[in-house]
Amino acid sequence: MTRTIKFLGLSAIVGAPLLQSFVVAIPLLVSACNNASAEFGQQPLEQNVNINSLLERGIVSLGRLNNHQIYVAIDSIESEGFLGYVRGTANALVISHFATNSAEEKERGPSSDIGYLGYAVISKLKTVSPADSHKLFDLLNKTGAGKPGALLEITLNVPKNDFNKFPVDRLLIVLFERGQSKESSPGLSRAMPELVKRANNAGIETLIVPSVGYNWHDKNSLTFQDIVGPLFDALAGSRSSTDIYILLYSDWHTFTLEEAVQSINSEWRKIVNKQSSGGRER
């Protein structure tokens, strides 16, 4: 018996024994294609952030790293539409806190500085969840000392009716040493894997990472590479499926935003090369 079959747009007349072999082979071929597609889907996309597109749209997709979809956004916590593009309710925001360095602690005892972003979050919460605002202020005010890179964590209870004004239900707080933030680079490298791990354990769907520790007024500040490099490395070692938003501040000068984008693209190319070469940087 012969039969005409069609597969992938091709027709052929085959006999019964060959037809049986062909029918058996199709599922194997489809399975192999699916496996290859899945493996390819876990590789980072080799693309860059275009500064003009970012300035025009406010948010662009950088690509996928393992199961993480990564975006870059320009935003300001002072704006009414802050994080308006974030969906869902399991969202965590990373902020910084500056504690006494070891020399100061020995001389005057522990104390701390609440950073700009910390104060901005406290101010934002005053309007949407006053109890959370007080809770965050008390936590930061009492945290006068700590090892750079250590993490604090606080769960928020923003009322459902006001959640769209601040769509965050958890804060992850990275400790820095007060003073020259460049010295905190090793601590931030330790903090990033723990941040990603905690987000995964807490079932966080969206992790929002501003440029914590960066201060464009300070020439000794952490660089953007110091921030996004450890973040990409941490994501490369994680198999969770958290969406990641790298947040740039809309009030920065254009040259600062351009510097940030160049750094993101540079670190992205490094991790792409590292992944494609089996973990070895090229």
Tens-digit pLDDT profile for residues 129-144: 999 999 999 999 888 7
Q: Is the pLDDT of residue 34 over 60?
A: no
Q: Is the pLDDT of residue 109 over 80?
A: no
Between the alpha carbon of residue 128 and those of residues 110, 122, 138, 158, the distances in Å are: 31, 10, 17, 7
Q: Provide the 3-class DSSP secondary structure of residue 75.
A: strand
pLDDT of 47 = 75
Q: What value, to the nearest 5°, has the Cα angle with vertex 201 and ends 142 and 122?
A: 35
Find the mean pLDDT for residues 259-278: 90
Q: Is the pLDDT of residue 188 over 60?
A: yes
Number of Cβ within a 10 Å radius of residue 107: 8
Q: Provide the 3-class DSSP secondary structure of residue 134.
A: helix
Token pair for 30? 């489809």
Between the alpha carbon of residue 169 and those of residues 57, 91, 136, 154, 164, the distances in Å are: 26, 6, 13, 9, 11
Reported as a pLDDT band with limits 50, 70 and 90, residue 116 is confident
Least trusted range by pLDDT, from 46-55, 104-113, 167-176: 104-113
pLDDT of 158 = 96
> What pTM was estimated for this model as a whole?
0.79
Average pLDDT for the chain: 81
